[in-house]
A and B are shown apart, each in its own frame.
Chain A
Amino acid sequence: MLGYVFRRIVTTIPVMAVVALLVFSLLYIAPGDPAAVIAGDQASPEQIAHIRASLGLDRPFLVRFVDWVWRILHGDLGTSIFTNLPVSHMIAQRIEPTLSLMVLTLLLSVVIAIPMGVMAAAKQGTWVDRVIMVLAVLGFSTPVFVIGYVLAYVFALQLNWLPVQGYTPLADGFWPFLQNLILPAFTLGGIYIALIARITRTSMLEVLSQDYVRTARAKGLGFGTVLFVHALKNAAVPITTVIGLGVALLIGGAVVTESVFAIPGLGRLTVDAILRRDYPVIQGVVLLFSFAYVLVNLIVDLLYTVFDPRIRY
């Protein structure tokens, strides 16, 4: 067990190294002269040269990469071109809303989607199954800001149940905090719920055709117990995999959801940085989110051993 955990953690390091190299290389992959693009159309040659020097584009690739990695390892993500503040500082200021939104969405989606998928599998071929699957296709096809505007229009503007926009920190009370996050969480959760419900149904269908499910029923266990205890546990590995992979959708969706609901998080920071062409900030956010994504999937891999003790590579 410990050996597996240790090996899995060690294999994550080269992945992170490749991610860091790729994020760093974007400056070189992008077509055209990034320094001129960042400086803007009215920039003088001196300004472009200044930007080029501040991005380090005037130094050799390898020298600059080693230097960059060294500074990241010390928690230095660079300095914003626009505000001259350290990027790590700007990220720290904005991380709470984004983290709250994503954790709430994750919990909400799992709590809604898994019972949906289990129901669809248990009632395979009936109208319950069809309705759930149609909802899943719709959730998959509706862009996140469309869900956001529809929810905001119905529940905030028309019914007046929830605030339209904004964010209240957790420190100001749990209910105001939650009130502001309910609509964004459902918005962000749409595609995620669809994804989890679909994979839950598929892997449940596979498990339900196994002999041990029939045995469990034959020895007199209730259908609910068999479904949620025996079958769901055996279907858990592909479901957790998809939950982990889907975090990429949450990260991408958070950028949009925060724009729709005016939440001052990392997504808004990114959007503001795009408009100001503040590349160091974008680079920092992309690197942070990618590392977080790799870590989430490491945790998912470690969870496999909980659901299926046979897994020991």
Chain B
Amino acid sequence: MTASSSQELAIAPEVAVAPELPEIWPPVRRRRGFLGFVLKHPTIAIGGLLILVMALIAVFAPYLGTVDPTALAPARRLRPPSRDYWFGTDMLGRDVYSRVIYGSRVSLIVGIAVSAVACALGMMIGLLSGFIRWLDAILMRVMDGVMSIPSILLAIALMALTRGSVRNVIIAISIAEVPRVARLVRGVVLSLREQPFVEAAVAAGTRRFMILWRHIVPNTLAPLTVQATYISASAMITEAILSFIGAGTPPIIPSWGNIMAEGRALWEVTPSIVFFPAIFLSLTVLAVNLLGDGLRDALDPRLMRRI
């Protein structure tokens, strides 16, 4: 290639010519806009889309060809999936499709509420223990203690002492998740406290609350967002587990855990009652986890992909 091109240009042989290199790398074209985002963060796109679909299902449950999910019809018990009953019927003749669709509401509400409550409480405890030294030792020992109790058992113990309701389920699961948030926030505060910009703010006479609010809190938001997604994923699983063993959402409200709990006794005969809510639950949790992984990679580029 170099020989032929130098002949074409008719350059004297004693003149050194830089060889013409083939184009190995095509020019980098950065895609922008929606498609660019999807290509750069496929996990966020897939997870986000699935969550959006689930949220729409939960909101528009009454319009998705459902009937009353609590309507009993003993005459048509335990029907297999068919054109009239897409997911079959349970042992009381209730339409499993309607129950599963309505059940998405409980899971989504629990997922969102638990991560909101746990993040708010954990943020407060983390800020306090990061900024007030004498309180740090006490708060962190309590948090260590809470973390030493396996979270499902902690929720079970709390649920055994309260009446079953969605609100109590949210409280019970949140208490178990608070320490993880508190530790995360405390870690960020401790590393930021020694930074020059915080020192500068102190030197400028900024009040402590304003330093926290203006300089510390914004820096916790990125890791907290990632943590919040993981918390809602595990909260949805914990809610289903609690309902499954009879310590969660009251049986009168259709939730995926409740539907599976009711189908448990008969699952060898009609496995569809257990499998449909199981598929919905797994897909939703998978979506939230994918979103969390994607957000972590996107918000903290220093981290390696997929830890």
Interface residue ranges, A against B (CB under 8 Å): 14-15, 18-19, 21-23, 26-27, 29-32, 34, 37-38, 133, 137-138, 140-146, 149-150, 153, 157, 164, 198-199, 201-202, 205, 248-249, 251-253, 255-256, 259-260, 270-271, 273-275, 277, 279, 282-283, 285-286, 289-290, 293-294, 297
Contacts and interface: CB of A to CB of B under 8 A. Distances in A.
B141 interface: yes
Interface in B150-208: 150-154, 156-163, 168, 171, 175
A38 B260 CA distance: 25
Contact of B306 (A15, A198, A249): A198
Interface stretch (B52-60, B64-72, B210-218, B286-294): B286-294
Which of A19, A143, A275, A290 neighbours the largest number of chain B CB atoms within 10 Å of its CB?
A: A143
Interface stretch (B17-25, B29-37, B83-91, B233-241): B233-241
Interface in B264-297: 264, 267-268, 271, 274-275, 278, 281-282, 285-286, 289-290, 293
A271 to B, nearest CB: 5
Given A256-B244, A271-B245, A145 B286 contact: no
A271 B264 CA distance: 14
A146 B150 contact: no
Contacts of B149: 19, 22-23, 286, 289-290, 293
Interface residues of B, number: 49
24 contacts: A15-B144, A18-B144, A19-B145, A19-B149, A22-B146, A26-B161, A29-B175, A31-B168, A34-B161, A38-B160, A137-B286, A141-B286, A141-B289, A142-B282, A145-B240, A145-B241, A145-B244, A149-B275, A150-B278, A164-B268, A251-B153, A259-B244, A274-B159, A289-B153
Given A18-B141, A198-B307, 15 more contacts: A19-B145, A21-B145, A22-B146, A26-B154, A34-B162, A143-B281, A145-B260, A149-B275, A202-B306, A251-B150, A256-B245, A259-B264, A271-B245, A274-B246, A290-B148
Contacts of A297: 148
B231 interface: no
A131 B80 CA distance: 35
Nearest to B242: A274
B51 interface: no
Nearest to B237: A143
Give the dominant DSSP class at A's interface.
helix
Contact of B245 (A31, A150, A274): A274
Given A19-B149, A164-B268, A202-B307, A146 B278 contact: yes
Contacts of B290: 137
Nearest to A260: B264
Contacts of A274: 156, 159-160, 245-247
Contacts of B157: 23, 26, 282-283, 286
B169 to A, nearest CB: 12
A133 to B, nearest CB: 6
Contacts, number: 154
Given A271-B246, A286-B153, A27 B161 contact: yes
Nearest to A274: B247
A22 B153 contact: no
Nearest to B282: A142
A256 B268 contact: no
B142 interface: yes
Contacts of B304: 202, 205
Contacts of B307: 198-199, 202
Contacts of B282: 141-143, 146
Nearest to A259: B245
A199 B148 CA distance: 21
Contacts of B152: 251-253, 255
A14 B237 CA distance: 31
Interface string B115-157: 0000000000000000000000000011011101111111011
Given A22-B149, A205-B304, A14 B141 contact: yes
A37 B162 contact: yes
Nearest to B172: A30
Nearest to B288: A141
A289 B286 contact: no
B156 A282 contact: yes
Contacts of A205: 304
A301 B153 CA distance: 24
Contacts of B145: 15, 18-19, 21-22
B241 A256 contact: yes
Contacts of B264: 259-260
A141 B237 CA distance: 9
A282 B171 CA distance: 18
B233 A141 contact: yes
Contacts of B267: 149
Contacts of A164: 268
A285 B153 CA distance: 9
A153 B149 CA distance: 33
A19 B163 contact: no
Contacts of A22: 142, 145-146, 149
Nearest to B278: A146
Contacts of B241: 143-145, 252, 255-256
Contacts of B144: 15, 18
B293 A26 contact: no
